[in-house]
């Protein structure tokens, strides 16, 4: 049968997210999600360690509440990859989240895209498995919130570029032939979650916004790590503030 036939919208889930993650009274409707512990540390240093709930995925993942621009919201650290990020996304939705902002790094498929530059994904190539359980098979998942996110970043006077992204769950199998094909299709970045989280959020009827920032580069004779693992504290704080500002406007 294979993964392309995995989508089933004719019967119910056996294990529902609400069984393990019941609704939390007064839970913030807007949630910010990061992939970096350093950014959580910045957020809690700036806004306090107000833990309002938690999730469990081998370790305990605290969910923090904070106020930004007179809006109450939550923030938590997610895991890399489609399956893990969607599993936690399902639980945060079950708790009461309705609008979610993801942000994280990506690799570039265009060496002219400078490290640190912001990207708004417009569609995601489905080179992973999770999205096929949330949407019928297709090459790409459309990012339905991209236009609104682009409007917000324009209002904020933040430089960015829009484009297709390549979502893969096997980053050590990003072969040169596959990269060249994705570039030919128009992809400008590669990452591990966009197709998965977009398919899941759309299936659940939740608004999910995602921006990426460029780190390593695949568009050269040899892989170039560039700023991977070397992003300064000031840049991490800037990425957080951008996400919080987006969350305050959606």
Average pLDDT score over residue span 150-166: 98
Rg, C-alpha atoms of the chain: 18
| Cα 100 → chain centroid | 9
What pLDDT, on a 0 to 100 scale, did the predictor assign at position 2?
A: 82
Q: Over 80: is that where the pLDDT of 117 sits?
A: yes
Name the band, by pLDDT with cuts 50, 70 and 90, for residue 57. confident
CA angle (188, 138, 205) in 5-degree steps: 90
Q: Per CATH, is 19-249 categorized as 2.60.120.590?
A: no
What pLDDT, on a 0 to 100 scale, did the predictor assign at position 22?
A: 94
Q: Over 80: is that where the pLDDT of 1 sits?
A: no
Side-chain-facing half-sphere of 118: CA atoms under 13 Å: 23
Output the 3-class SS for the chain.
CCHHHCCCCCCCCCCCHHHHCCCCCCCCCEEEEECCHHHHHHHHHHHCCEEEEEEECCCEEEEEEEEECCEEEEEEECCCCHHHHHHHHHHHHHHCCCEEEEEEEEEECCCCCCCCCEEEEEEEEEECCHHHHCCCCCCEEECCCHHHHHHHHHHCCCCEEEEEEEEECCHHHCCHHHHHHHHHHCEEEEECCHHHHHHHHHHHCCEEEEEEEEEEECCCCCCECCCCCCCCHHHHHHHHHHHHHHHHHC
Report pTM: 0.96
Q: What is the pLDDT of residues 213-222, one digit of tens each?
A: 999 999 999 9
User: So where are the chain's domains?
Assistant: 19-249
- Mean per-residue pLDDT of the chain: 97
């Amino acid at each position: 049968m294979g993964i392309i036939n995995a989508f089933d919208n004719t019967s119910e889930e056996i294990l529902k997210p609400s069984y393990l993650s019941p609704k939390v009274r007064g839970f913030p409707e807007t949630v910010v999600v990061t992939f970096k512990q350093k950014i959580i540390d910045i957020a809690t240093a700036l806004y306090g360690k107000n833990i309002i709930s938690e999730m469990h995925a081998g370790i305990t993942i605290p969910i923090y509440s904070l106020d930004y621009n007179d809006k109450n919201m939550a923030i938590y650290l997610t895991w890399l990859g489609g399956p893990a990020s969607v599993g936690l996304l399902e639980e945060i939705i079950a708790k009461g989240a309705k609008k979610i902002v993801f942000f994280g790094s990506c690799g570039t498929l265009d060496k002219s895209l400078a490290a640190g530059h912001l990207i708004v994904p417009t569609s995601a190539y489905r080179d992973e498995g999770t999205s096929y359980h949330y949407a019928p098979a297709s090459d790409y998942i459309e990012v339905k919130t991209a236009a609104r996110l682009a409007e917000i970043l324009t209002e904020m006077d933040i430089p960015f570029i829009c484009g297709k992204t390549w979502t893969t769950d096997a980053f050590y199998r990003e072969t040169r032939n596959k990269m060249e094909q994705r570039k030919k299709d128009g992809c400008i970045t590669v990452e591990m979650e966009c197709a998965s989280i977009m398919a899941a959020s759309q299936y659940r009827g939740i608004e999910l916004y995602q921006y990426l920032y460029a780190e390593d580069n695949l568009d050269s004779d040899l892989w170039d790590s560039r700023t991977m693992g070397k992003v300064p504290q000031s840049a991490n704080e800037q990425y957080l503030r951008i996400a919080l500002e987006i969350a305050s406007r959606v």
